[in-house]
Structure 1
């Protein structure tokens, strides 16, 4: 699938889509977005993504025409047909509605993580904003250190999440994930993995990372991706049994939610 885009309802190749250079979405990263996974043209958990987009926009006082944006998503999905990939909807402070359809990313079967110190921005709690420079830089720092992705850790040593993914880990035969109270993103994939696995929230300290039995990242694009090592320390298994079970349970849930008989919203 070639990437397609819609800008305020005008559809064309994503590579040639444009917005004004004066838009504060470009100049200041001022805007909000959502990304959903497409399975045969059906976006998974779309209603939840739309609800979070509305909340994000309200939290930064960004008004936009939601009905027009959703109609433009539908038009682009109709143009593309039953494809696998991702649909990204973003709204800029300049008032632009942008929808991008892209092929599914290549995801490695396992990934090694490197911890990167990170202090969450409290003013953007519950906002999935375009201001992702800090997250992207954390990924670069981890790769420079020889890892595949960053694991964000606060200055006081509390483990949070990946720059674009939730973090799950196993200790003593049980799955856990850092609590939302620690200012991690309320990831939609995280919600569903928690629901299908019975994962519990548990705060994790950096000095506990060496005794984890297994771990994985979860996100719209990654689904469930096993972690093979953290800060150069190999985990006992990747995937471990709990990770493999989580991946299977999530995959089965997604298949049921995006089956032809299911509503497009998942």
Structure 2
């Protein structure tokens, strides 16, 4: 699939589209964004993504024309047709509405995680911001540790999430996920998994990681991805029964939506 993009309504090949170098979205990572997965050209849970985009923009005091952004995404999707992939919508401080249509990133059948110490920025709570350098660095640090992805933990040892996905785990036979009060992102896929399963919010400490029976990551692009090891320790069940059930429930829900 060719990567297409729209900048304030002008559509072209993604690699040929431009924004001014003076845009603070580029200079300072000042802006907000959303990514939705496309199934046959249809973005799953798009209304939820747009609602979160509005909240993020309001939280960082960034005004933008939502109707124009929606129309520009619709035009981009109409140009692309019934494709599978992702649609990314960015709103920059410089006033640019940027929509990018891309193929799905390649994912492994399961992921090995390495814990990386991380302190969430409180002022950006509930904001899906363009300022993702810390998240990207965490992923690089994990790969340097011979893992596939990072598992972010606070300096005090509480488990949070992965850089671009929610973390679910099974402990004492029950499915849990770290609570939003730990200043993690209110992930849309996380919401759907909780609604489709009996998962509950529960604080998890690093010293409990060896006790986990199974775990998985959940995100727009991953759906449900089993975790095979954490800090070099294999998990006993990959994918475990609750991971497999969550993956099937999410796939069925997406197909029926």
TM-score, structure 2 as length reference: 0.99
| CA displacement, residues 214-237 of structure 1 (integer Å, 9 cap, x when unaligned) | 000000011100000000000001
In 1, Cα distance between the equivalents of 2:67 and 2:58?
Answer: 15
The match for 1:110 is 110
| 1:68-87 superposed matches below 5 A | 68-87=68-87
Q: Does 1:209 find its partner at 2:209? A: yes
Q: Per-residue displacement from partner, 1:89-121 (whole Å, max 9, x unpaired)?
A: 000000000000001111110010000000000
Asked if 1:245 is matched to 2:245, the reply is yes
Which consecutive unaligned segments of at least 5 residues does structure 2 have? none
Q: Quick check: 1:193 aligned with 2:202?
A: no
Cα deviation per residue 1:122-171 (whole Å; 9 max; x = unaligned)? 00001000000000000000000110000000000000000000000001
1:32-47 pair list within 5 angstroms: 32-47=32-47
Gaps of 5+ in 1: 258-266
Q: Any idea what SS the aligned residue of 1:32 has?
A: strand
Q: Tell me what 1:228 maps to.
A: 228
Partner of 2:63: 63
Following superposition, the deviation at residue 64 of structure 1 comes to 0.7
| SS of aligned partner of 2:215 | strand
Q: Distance in 1 between matches of 2:173 and 2:242?
A: 8
**1:113 and 1:23 mapped to 2: Cα distance?**
35
Partner of 2:49: 49
CA distance in 2, matches of 1:147, 1:63: 39
Partner of 1:95: 95
| Count of aligned positions | 257
Query: How far did 1:16 drift?
Result: 1.0
Instruction: Tell me the equivalent position of 1:27.
Output: 27
Q: Distance in 2 between matches of 1:164 and 1:193?
A: 16
CA distance in 1, matches of 2:238, 2:68: 44
Query: TM (normalized to structure 1)?
Result: 0.96
SS in 2 for 1:113: strand
1:254 alignment counterpart: 254
Moved over 6 A (4+): none
Aligned to 2:144: 144
Query: For residues 254 and 106 of structure 2, what CA distance do their matches in structure 1 show?
Result: 19
C-alpha displacement of 1:172: 1.7
